[in-house]
C-alpha cells in the first residue's frame, strides 16, 4: 500500500540516524547517571520519533490507558511497600507476593501483570515476578523511592488535571501559594503545600528524603568551576565570607563545592536556611561541614551577611512566582559588594529542552511556582539591579552567574 511505502520512506532515515546515535554512545563522555545527557537524549529523541511515526494518531487513546494504569499500580505498590517484597535476586510467586502485602492473589496478579506488560517488572517463570533495573531502584535507593512517593501517591500531578481550578481562579498562571492547584486539588484551599504536608504524619520526612534522592541526579556536578572563589578569596581578609549557600538545606551542595575545592577555607563558608533546618544540619555533626558557619535566617527577609564574595541559591526560586522571586533576590542584591557574584542553580528552559523539564515546570505550577527560560532569568535579574554574566548549562540544572550592573 502507498501508506506503508510512505511510512517506510519516513522511517528509513530515522533508523539510520538512530544507528549513528547509538554508535556515538561508544565514545561518549556523559556520566552513566546523567539525567538527560546529550548523547542519551539524542537517542531517546530519535527513538520517540520512530515510535510516533509508526503509530497512528488514534493510538494515543491506548497510550494514555497504559500510562495511567502503570502509574496507578506503581502508586499502590509504593503505598503497600510491595516492591520491597520482591527479591533483588531471583523472583517471587504472585501468591507469595500477595501474602506478603496482605492482598488478594487475584488483585495482586492483575496489578503485577500490568507492570510486566510494560517491562517495568519481569516474569522469569509462570506466575513469578522479578525486578528490572527500573523497579529495583525503588528498593535500593530510598531517596528515589521517597521522591516517587511524593509524585505518585501524594497525587502531586492530579490537581493540574482539574480544570475546575482554572474555572474557579481564572485561566491564568497560578501565583498564590495558599490557593495553588495543589491546595485546591487536595481540598485544602487557603493552605500552602508546607502547611498541608505538616498536617500529614511523615510527609515532611518523606519530602526531605525525596529531595536527597533528587539531588543524586538533579545537581550542578561538573557544571560550574568554583575554584576561582578560593583563588580570589586569598586576596581578601580572612574575615570576609567567601561563599554563602542560601536556602542550602542540609548542606548537600555546599559539601559538593567543598569537595571539589578543598583549598576553600570552610571557616569562610556559610550555610543558611530556616533556623530549624540549620539547627538540624549543625547538630548532625557532618564531618564534611566541620568548620562551616551556620546561620538561621529566612530568605524572604533581609540578607544578614553583607559583602560576601559569592551568594549561591539552588532550587529555591522555582518554588515561587516572579514577583516573590524578585523580592528574594532583591534581599541578596541589596547587600552585594561591587565584586560579589550571585549564582543561581536552577533549570533553564529552552525550546528544545527534554519533556522532563516541562514536566517539572507543570509540577511547580501545581504549587504556584515555575521553571524559567533564559529570557525569564534575564528579566528577573535585571529587575533587582543585576545582570547575567554567563549561563553555565548542565544536563539537569544550570548555573546562572550574575553580577551587579
Active site residues: 318
Residues 6 or more apart whose Cβ sits within 8 Å of residue 199? none
Selection from 325, 357, 367, 358 nearest residue 342 by Cα = 325
Query: What stretch of H or E contains 387?
Result: strand 386-392
For the record, the C-alpha cell of 168 comes out as 474557579
| Other beta carbons less than 10 A from residue 383's beta carbon | 15
Phi-psi region of 93 (alpha: psi -120 to 50; beta: other; left: phi over 0): beta
Specify burial of residue 124 (Cβ count, 10 A radius: 0-12, 13-18, 19+).
Answer: exposed
Long-range CB contacts for residues 50-53, cutoff 8 Å, separation at least 24: 50/11, 50/14, 50/15, 50/18, 53/7, 53/10, 53/11, 53/14
Sign of CA dihedral 379, 381, 382, 388: negative
H/E element, 401: strand 398-404
Q: Please spell the DSSP secondary structure of 173-192, one letter per residue.
A: ----GGG-HHHHHTT-TT--
Q: Which of 49, 2, 46, 5 has its CA nearest to residue 23?
A: 46
Task: Give the DSSP per-residue string, 192-248.
Answer: -HHHHHHTSTTHHHHHHHHHHHHHTTSS-TTTS--HHHHHHHTTS-TTS--EEEET-
Amino acid at each position: 500500500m502507498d501508506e506503508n511505502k510512505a511510512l517506510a520512506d519516513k522511517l528509513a532515515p530515522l533508523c539510520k540516524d538512530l544507528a549513528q546515535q547509538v554508535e556515538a554512545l561508544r565514545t561518549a563522555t556523559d556520566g552513566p547517571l546523567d539525567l538527560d545527557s546529550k548523547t542519551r537524549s539524542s537517542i531517546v529523541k530519535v527513538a520517540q520519533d520512530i515510535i510516533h511515526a509508526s503509530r497512528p494518531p488514534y493510538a494515543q487513546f491506548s497510550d494514555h490507558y497504559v500510562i495511567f494504569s502503570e502509574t496507578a499500580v506503581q502508586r499502590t505498590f509504593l503505598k503497600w511497600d510491595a516492591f520491597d517484597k520482591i527479591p533483588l535476586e531471583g523472583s517471587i510467586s504472585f501468591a507469595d507476593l500477595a501474602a506478603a502485602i496482605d492482598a488478594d492473589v487475584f488483585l495482586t496478579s492483575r496489578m503485577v501483570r500490568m507492570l510486566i506488560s510494560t517491562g517495568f517488572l519481569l516474569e522469569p517463570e509462570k506466575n513469578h515476578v522479578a525486578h528490572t533495573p527500573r523497579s529495583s531502584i525503588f528498593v535500593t535507593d530510598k531517596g528515589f523511592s521517597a521522591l516517587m512517593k511524593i509524585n505518585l501517591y501524594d497525587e502531586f500531578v492530579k490537581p493540574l488535571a482539574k480544570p475546575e481550578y482554572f474555572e474557579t481562579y481564572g485561566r491564568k498562571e497560578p501565583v498564590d501559594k495558599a490557593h495553588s492547584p495543589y491546595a485546591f486539588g487536595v481540598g485544602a484551599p487557603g493552605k500552602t503545600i508546607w502547611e498541608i504536608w505538616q498536617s500529614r504524619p511523615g510527609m515532611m520526612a518523606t519530602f526531605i528524603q525525596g529531595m536527597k534522592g533528587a539531588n543524586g541526579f538533579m545537581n550542578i556536578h561538573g557544571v560550574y568551576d568554583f575554584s576561582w572563589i578560593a583563588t580570589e578569596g586569598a586576596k581578601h581578609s580572612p574575615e570576609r565570607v567567601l561563599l554563602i549557600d542560601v536556602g542550602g538545606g542540609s548542606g548537600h551542595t555546599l559539601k559538593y563545592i567543598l569537595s571539589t575545592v578543598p583549598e576553600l577555607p570552610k571557616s569562610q563558608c556559610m550555610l543558611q536556611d530556616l533556623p530549624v533546618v540549620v539547627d538540624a544540619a549543625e547538630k548532625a555533626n557532618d564531618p564534611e561541614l566541620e568548620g562551616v558557619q551556620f546561620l538561621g535566617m529566612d530568605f524572604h527577609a533581609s540578607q544578614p551577611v553583607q559583602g560576601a564574595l559569592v551568594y549561591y541559591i539552588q532550587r529555591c526560586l522555582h518554588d515561587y512566582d516572579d514577583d516573590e522571586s524578585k523580592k528574594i533576590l532583591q534581599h541578596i542584591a541589596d547587600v552585594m559588594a561591587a565584586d560579589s557574584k550571585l549564582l543561581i542553580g536552577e533549570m533553564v528552559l529552552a525550546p528544545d529542552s527534554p519533556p522532563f523539564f516541562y514536566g517539572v515546570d507543570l509540577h511547580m505550577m501545581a504549587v504556584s511556582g515555575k521553571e524559567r527560560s533564559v529570557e525569564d532569568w534575564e528579566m528577573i535579574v535585571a529587575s533587582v539591579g543585576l545582570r547575567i554574566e554567563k549561563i553555565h548549562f548542565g544536563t539537569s540544572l544550570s548555573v546562572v552567574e550574575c553580577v551587579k550592573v
